[in-house]
Structure 1
Amino acid sequence: MPKVRAYGADATLKACREASYGVAPLSGYRSLDFKSTDLSSAQPLGDDPLLGRGRNAQDPYRGLITDEGQIDIPFDLRGTGFWLTGLFGDPMTAAVNASGSISFAANPSPGATITLGGTVWTFVSGTPSGDETEIQATVTQTLDQLVSDLNASADVEVAKCTYSRPTSTQTLVIVFDTAGPSGNSFTLAASAASVSGPTLTGGGYAHVWESGADDIPSYTIEIGHPKLTTPVFFRHLGTVMESINFEMGQEGPANARLQLVAQGEERFAATVDGSPDAVSLRRFSQGRGFIRRGGSALAGVTGGSLTFSNNLERVRVIREDGKIEAADPTFASAEGAMSVRFDGATLVAEAANGDPVALDYGFTFPEGYALRFELPRVFLPKPKYAVSGPGGVEASFDWRAAFDDSEGTMLRAHLLNDVTSYA
């Protein structure tokens, strides 16, 4: 039933990439999840009083139009890639094979089994037949024989993978032959060995964005109130994404805040697209977040934040409509903060010497899907810490990132999921 007042619970957000700046596409829109937004146009009033007309106020004049605002979004498995494309430009995308492993502490005993995709494979002391491997004199020799047997197997499930044993290990490595997310459902089990997980993980599509692109896309974004008695839809043309900021915590869902700059706002009584594309929502959690230094987990971290900005220049020219001509990216910047339990050693030497460190901020899912922001060259200040009571002491690092010549970028965003493309 139509409503006489607008409610956020009924609001919709649709967006589509523009072929030309400020020109709204007619179709191809995507419905996106959001928490809140204040994206809206404004045109202030100004005063230029004339003398000789008494003490009462005269008519004001209308100033320049600005159409800017923030939008709070969830970090989710699929929709996040849309926003990252707006911030950085098109990603590089490649299909990734799912993988896993089974580790053996000792030579398996006769009758021990491993299970691969539902197929039970047995270790035997005598001559093997079917889905069996003969136990050899040492565990590594047994695994080498197992690798040979598995790779030669005609079993439909076993043949879906390629098997190997890395040098100087007692581990069977399993890689699903078909790249993409399908391998994540291939099951693993072992009666007397340690499996990496109940299934293979990490299969999907790896999307990689890099900061510093010369050109980033613009979008038409529509914020609608379709359940009003008189529906209204605010269409923001020429929307460019300026910055993203997010906090790292210990619990709750992961969210981010984007700053948007649009050319102008138009009001309509009907939506631009009645059947937009949509993706199923699956949110990243703070409980599976991480901050790493040089690829290893950083101990004692209690919180953090990251801000990336394109530092847009609002191009103002003489126009009769008062709108901006463009929003062009200038220099890209990234900065953030970390709070760690002070131990007198963690990051202190790097901060004192001025040596850069490599940091990663990110979130994961159990099957290996992940969102990760890679910063190969980060500079730390001398930390500020305070002793405020008998409890633990924390140190705070407000860091800044810089361009890395060897990596060719300042910030690289990675998203592994089941979406084939964001181009």
Structure 2
Amino acid sequence: MPKVRAYGADATLKACREAAYGVAPLSGYRSLDFKSTDLSSAQPLGDDPLLGRGRNAQDPYRGLITDEGQIEIPLDLRGTGFWLTGLFGDPVTTAVKASGSIAFAANPSAGDTITLNGTVWTFVSGIPSGNETQIQATATQTVDQLVADLNASADAEVSKCTYSRPASTQTLAIEFDIAGPTGNGFTIAASAASVSGSTLTGGGHAHVWESGADDIPSYTVEIGHPKLVTPVFFRHLGTVMESLAFEMGQEGPANARLQLVAQGEERYAATVDAAPDSYALRRFSQGRGFIRRGGSALAGVTGGSLTFSNNLERVRVIREDGKIEAADPTFASAQGAMSVRFDGATLVAEATDGDPVALEYGFTFPEGYALRFELPRVFLPKPKYAVSGPGGVEASFDWRAAFDDTEGTMLRAHLLNDVTSYV
């Protein structure tokens, strides 16, 4: 039943990439998840009083139109890539194969088994037949024989993967033959060895964005209230993404804030797209977040934040509608903060000497899907810390990132998921 008042629970958010700045596409929109938004146009009133007309106020004039605001979004497995494309430009996407391993602490015994996607493979001391491998003199030699037997197998499940033994290990490495997310469902088990997980992991599509692109896309964004007695849809043309910021904690879902700059707002009685595409929602959790230094988990971190900005220039020219001509990216910047339990050693030397460190902020899922922000060159200030009671002492580092000549970027965002493309 139509409603006389608008409620956030009924609001919709749709967006589509523009082929030309400020020109709304006719189709191809996506319905996107969001928590809140204040994206809206405003046109202030100004005063320019004339003398000789008494003490009462005269008619105001209308100022320039601004159409800006924030959208708070969930950091999720699929929809986040849409926003990252708006922030950085098109990603480089490659398909990745799922992989896993089975590690043998000792030479298998007769009757021990491994199970590959339901197919049981048995170690025997005598002459092998079928799905069997003969135990050799050492664990390394047995794994080598296992590799040869598995790669030669005609079993429909076993042959879905390629097998190897990394040098100087007693480990069976398993790689699914087809790149993409399919391999994440391939199960592995062992009766007397350690498996990397119940299934292979890490298969999917790896999307990589880099900061500093000369061109970033614009979008038409529609915020609608379809359940009103008189439905209303606010369409924001020429919307460019200025910044993204998020905080890291110890529990709860992960969210982010996007700052948007649009050319102008138009009001309609009907939606731009009645049947938009959408992403299946799967949110990242703070409980599976991480902050790493040099590829290793940073100890004692209690909280953190990251902000990236394109620092858009609102291009103002003389035009009769009062709107901006464009929103152009200037210098890209990244900064953030970390709170760590003070131990007198962690990051203190780097902060004192001024040496840059490599940081990563990110979130993961059990099957290897992940979102991470890689900052190869981060400078730390000398931290301020305070002892405020008998409890633990914390130090806060408000860092800034800089361009890295070797990496060719300042910030690199990675998203591994099951979405084929964001272009």
What TM-score does the superposition give when structure 2 sets the normalisation length? Answer: 1.00
Q: Deviations over 1:7-65 (max 9, x none)?
A: 00000000000000000000000000000000000000000000000000000000000
- SS in structure 2 opposite 1:84? helix
- SS in structure 2 opposite 1:184? helix
| Separation in structure 2 between the aligned mates of residue 395 and residue 146 of structure 1, nearest angstrom | 51
Amino acid corresponding to residue 218 of structure 1 in structure 2:
S
Give the CA deviation at 1:279. 1.2
- SS in structure 1 opposite 2:278? coil
- SS in structure 2 opposite 1:87? helix
| Separation in structure 1 between the aligned mates of residue 326 and residue 374 of structure 2, nearest angstrom | 30
Give the CA deviation at 1:416. 0.2
Q: Deviations over 1:198-255 (max 9, x none)?
A: 0000000000000000000000000000000000000000000000000000000000
- SS in structure 2 opposite 1:220? strand
Unaligned runs of 5+ in 1: none
Match of 2:284 in 1: 284
Match of 1:109 in 2: 109
Match of 2:145 in 1: 145
Give the CA deviation at 1:167. 0.7
Within a 5 Å distance, the mapping from 1:373-412 to structure 2 comes to 373-412=373-412
Amino acid corresponding to residue 217 of structure 1 in structure 2:
P
- SS in structure 2 opposite 1:182? helix
Give the CA deviation at 1:132. 0.3
Q: Deviations over 1:388-409 (max 9, x none)?
A: 1000000100000000000000
1:25 aligned to 2:25? yes
Match of 1:315 in 2: 315
Unaligned runs of 5+ in 2: none
- SS in structure 1 opposite 2:346? coil
What TM-score does the superposition give when structure 1 sets the normalisation length? Answer: 1.00
Give the CA deviation at 1:6. 0.1
| Separation in structure 2 between the aligned mates of residue 265 and residue 160 of structure 1, nearest angstrom | 53
Q: Deviations over 1:284-303 (max 9, x none)?
A: 00000000001000000000
- SS in structure 2 opposite 1:373? strand
| Separation in structure 2 between the aligned mates of residue 135 and residue 299 of structure 1, nearest angstrom | 42
Match of 1:357 in 2: 357
Match of 2:49 in 1: 49
Amino acid corresponding to residue 62 of structure 2 in structure 1:
R
| Separation in structure 1 between the aligned mates of residue 238 and residue 403 of structure 2, nearest angstrom | 29
- SS in structure 2 opposite 1:251? coil
Amino acid corresponding to residue 174 of structure 1 in structure 2:
I
| Separation in structure 1 between the aligned mates of residue 188 and residue 359 of structure 2, nearest angstrom | 33
- SS in structure 2 opposite 1:150? helix
| Separation in structure 2 between the aligned mates of residue 127 and residue 358 of structure 1, nearest angstrom | 53
| Separation in structure 2 between the aligned mates of residue 344 and residue 376 of structure 1, nearest angstrom | 24
Match of 2:209 in 1: 209
Q: Deviations over 1:130-175 (max 9, x none)?
A: 0000000000000000000001100000000000111111111000
Match of 1:305 in 2: 305
| Separation in structure 2 between the aligned mates of residue 163 and residue 349 of structure 1, nearest angstrom | 44
Give the CA deviation at 1:84. 0.0
| Separation in structure 2 between the aligned mates of residue 389 and residue 140 of structure 1, nearest angstrom | 55
Within a 5 Å distance, the mapping from 1:176-215 to structure 2 comes to 176-215=176-215
| Separation in structure 2 between the aligned mates of residue 196 and residue 324 of structure 1, nearest angstrom | 55
Amino acid corresponding to residue 249 of structure 2 in structure 1:
G
Amino acid corresponding to residue 403 of structure 1 in structure 2:
F
Amino acid corresponding to residue 206 of structure 1 in structure 2:
A
Match of 1:294 in 2: 294
Q: Deviations over 1:303-350 (max 9, x none)?
A: 000000000000000000000000000000000000000011111111
Within a 5 Å distance, the mapping from 1:238-253 to structure 2 comes to 238-253=238-253
Amino acid corresponding to residue 180 of structure 1 in structure 2:
G
What is the root-mean-square deviation of aligned Cα atoms in Å?
Answer: 0.3
| Separation in structure 1 between the aligned mates of residue 308 and residue 148 of structure 2, nearest angstrom | 49
Report how many aligned residue pairs link the two structures: 423
Amino acid corresponding to residue 234 of structure 1 in structure 2:
F
Match of 2:335 in 1: 335
- SS in structure 2 opposite 1:334? strand
| Separation in structure 2 between the aligned mates of residue 118 and residue 407 of structure 1, nearest angstrom | 43
Amino acid corresponding to residue 327 of structure 2 in structure 1:
A
Amino acid corresponding to residue 417 of structure 1 in structure 2:
N
1:77 aligned to 2:77? yes
- SS in structure 1 opposite 2:235? strand
| Separation in structure 2 between the aligned mates of residue 252 and residue 220 of structure 1, nearest angstrom | 31
Match of 1:154 in 2: 154
- SS in structure 1 opposite 2:270? coil
Match of 1:64 in 2: 64
